[in-house]
Amino acid sequence: MNSTLSVSRRDFFKQTVAPLAVAALSPKLFANAPLSKMGIASTSFMGTQIGAAPPASAATAANAAQGGGGRFRQRDALEFLEKCHQLGAGGVQTSLNGDLTKLRARAEELGMYLEGMVSIPRNGDMTALEKGLSDAKAAGVTVVRAAMLSGRRYETFPSLADWKKWVDQTHDALRLAMPVIEKHKVVVALENHKDWTLEDFLRLLRTYQSEYLQVCLDFGNNIALLDDPIELIEGLARYAKSTHIKDMAVQSYQDGFLLSEVVLGQGMLDLPKIVSIIQKANPKTKFSLEMITRDPLKVPCMTKQFWETFPERNGKFLAQTFRLVRDHSSRSPLPTVEQLSPEARAKVELDNVVACVRYVNEKNLIA
């Protein structure tokens, strides 16, 4: 397995943002090749300035990293579109900003799809959501990604009571948001963002039963919640109006297992099967790469704290996950990034994304 180096979303704002060499994104990178059928999510670039304005201050950076449904920092949508086109991507998933008419026209000219990103406000004020959905319509966007939790369930909530309080607050927010969402008729695709188990997510979707509240189906996140990756895809595919395509690698460690995004085709996920399941359920769903280059995530499923917020999980889930880790454990150490300079991290990040695009094209992964 080739090295895939990475950095934590929550730690990166503490570090210097690495500039991206212009030559690295030469328009000739995929010269004379058709656009990939896969797009790129802006979350694939956490460590470089591809269409990103660096935060003005440490406080601004911290706020951006910790809030907004996982949005790290504002990006220039048009610049990001152009850079992803140079990489051969077929579309982008990113926050929408700037001249939206120009953005829409340029995407149409390049033959690329646009998906947006919005947040569901938790303070009762739907102004930002109104603007986000209005901007989406102005840009010709019909699907926007959102996430309810920016962190990880087993790290964020120290007790079951804290988790249940957050769930109640989430439903309060969604009840206020749904009239706004349905008024604008833009699909809000909630990501399975290491918060909802498969059962949790199905209950949520059945609660609202709206064609405009669907799923941004992340291929790998729910492994951290002990869900079987194929069972998750089969359970949520009919709701998948957006995706985060990725591959995952695992290894055991003392308190559980390590989980890493890796270059497509180098991990354990059955990508052809997953793509086929989703396309059969929703033929028009777009596949947006989320290749997050960062350190392996620790999933401490052998600790008491991990189980505090999973009252419905049991030994069956632990056993199936440990079997998955045993059968698919990476033979090489999962790579780390702390020893690298920002410039080196940025280069590996870009290399990983380029390798993923090449894999999809060479394997004809997406019909």
Structural domains in the chain plus CATH codes: 9-247+262-294+337-361 (3.20.20.150)
Joined together, the tokens standing for residue 4 give 């895939």
Answer whether 262's CB lies under 8 Å from 6's CB. Answer: no
Rounded Cα distance, 74 and 55, in Å: 8
Which residues does 49 contact at the CB level (< 8 Å), separation at least 6?
Answer: 17, 18, 19, 20
**H or E segment at 116?**
strand 113-117
For residue 88, count other CB atoms closer than 10 A to its CB.
Answer: 20
Specify the pLDDT at position 338: 76
Rounded Cα distance, 302 and 318, in Å: 9
Rounded Cα distance, 307 and 156, in Å: 13
The SS3 assignment for 59 reads helix
Q: Is the pTM of this model over 0.85?
A: yes
Specify the pLDDT at position 72: 42
Rounded Cα distance, 280 and 353, in Å: 26
239 φ, ψ (degrees, to nearest 5): -100, -5
Rounded Cα distance, 186 and 144, in Å: 7
Q: What is the mean pLDDT of each run of 10 residues along the chain (367 residues)?
A: 39 37 47 86 81 40 35 77 97 98 98 98 96 98 97 97 97 98 98 97 97 98 98 98 98 98 97 98 98 96 97 95 97 87 93 97 96
For residue 107, what are the CA distances in angstroms to 88, 101, 142, 366? Answer: 13, 10, 14, 20
* The one-letter amino acid at 24: A
Specify the pLDDT at position 75: 84
